[in-house]
Amino acid sequence: MNLNALWAYANPKKFIQTTEKVLPWVSVLAVVSLIVGLVWGFFFTPDDYRQGSTVKIIYLHVPSALMAINVWLMMLVTSLIWIVRRHHVSALAARAAAPIGAVMTVIALATGAIWGQPMWGTWWAWDPRLTSFLILFLFYLGYMALWEAIDNDDTAADLTSILCLVGSVFALLSRYAVNFWNQGLHQGASLSLDKEENVADVFWYPLLVCIAGFVLLFIALVLLRTRTEIRARRMRALLARERMG
Amino acid sequence: MMPDLGKYADAVLSSYAVSLVLLMVLVWLSVRRSKRIKAQLQDIEMKVKRNG
């Protein structure tokens, strides 16, 4: 595969043309896998012997938490591309992804709190993973606010890219906090290559379908929102040109 | 048919309600903004074409 061919999609026109064809398929696949995964998990899996029916929250909590971290890492990659190669589409893709990541973080925090109340006896604890997730959410808010606060698109892309690099520390910390500090309430990873650590197969398969659904939903939304950002940027450029002459 | 969620029914149902509402609002806002910006850009491009 020629990786250099990927740079063709840095052209806004080419990006819009290609995503026009891809977007409907990804959207349909996202909806189908989300419905299948959530219906399977909610209606057709048994209760856990310790957690009871609250185990059904895993189908929302784990995929949203995974996405909260990985969306930021995708923003890190696109921000680095902007810093190194100055491709506008990559900066706009990072901007488009931020609200999706913020919503995923809220879902992870909310479902975690709702699950924690009956299981741990508290809605919230200043546990390393929970706290780093809260800080990650604040970074998402700061990132979005910074884009809105600066009129010049290139300056905004530069500054938000730097903020993204700094926030990546908390994105990684959210993932590995449990391994760094053997304290706090949050258990280790639910998904692992180590068979001993993984959840049982009866929960694992619907969970995989739900994760696929969340990933596909993210791809569909980020494509749609990047197209919107490209058009909004062109609109601002045309308006500025008209004002000047 | 609704599964028996026992004493944790409130926790499970509220988790699903909060998550699905948030996801639907995100999708709705994204689609709405996409349509609005697309229409605005078309208007501006037509105007620019007319004005030469």
Question: Nearest chain A Cα to B46, which residue?
Answer: A238
Buried b (16+ CB within 10 A) or exposed e, A29-44: bbeebbeebbebbbee
Question: The tokens of A191 are what?
Answer: 């998904």
Q: Which two tokens stand for residue A224?
A: 């749609």
The arithmetic mean of pLDDT across residues A165-187, rounded, is 74
At position A224, the amino acid (one-letter code) is L
Of B15, B22, B40, the CB nearest to A57: B15
In this structure, the dihedral spanned by the alpha carbons of residues A123, A126, A130 and A132, taken in order and rounded to 10 degrees, is 150
How far, rounded to the nearest angstrom, does the alpha carbon of residue A120 sit from its chain's CA centroid? 26
Q: How many CB atoms lie within 10 A of CB A13?
A: 9
Contacts of B15 in chain A (CB under 8 A): 56-57, 60-61, 110-111, 114-115
User: What confidence tens digit (pLDDT) does each residue in B5-36 have?
Assistant: 999 999 999 999 999 999 999 999 999 999 99
How many A-B residue pairs are in contact by the CB < 8 A criterion? 93
pLDDT digits 0-9 by tens, A132-173: 899 999 999 999 999 999 999 999 999 999 999 999 988 887
> Mean per-residue pLDDT for A201-216?
95
Domain limits, chain A: 22-244
CB contact under 8 A, B18 and A110: yes
List, in sequence order, the alpha helices (H) in chain A. 12-43, 58-85, 88-120, 128-149, 153-180, 201-244
Task: Nearest by CB to A52, from B8, B22, B27: name it.
Answer: B8
Distance from CA of B22 to the nearest CA of A (A): 7
Per-residue model confidence as pLDDT tens digits over A70-125: 999 999 999 999 999 999 999 999 999 999 999 999 999 999 999 999 998 999 98
Strand partners, A225: none
Contact (Cβ atoms closer than 8 angstroms) between residue A60 and residue A111: yes
Q: What are the phi and psi torsion angles at B8 (to 5°)?
A: -100, 15
In B, which residues are within 8 Å of A227 by CB distance?
34
Judged by CB atoms closer than 8 Å, whether chains meet at B19 and A111 is answered as yes
Contacts of B9 (CB under 8 A, 6+ apart): A53
Contacts of B1 in chain A (CB under 8 A): 43
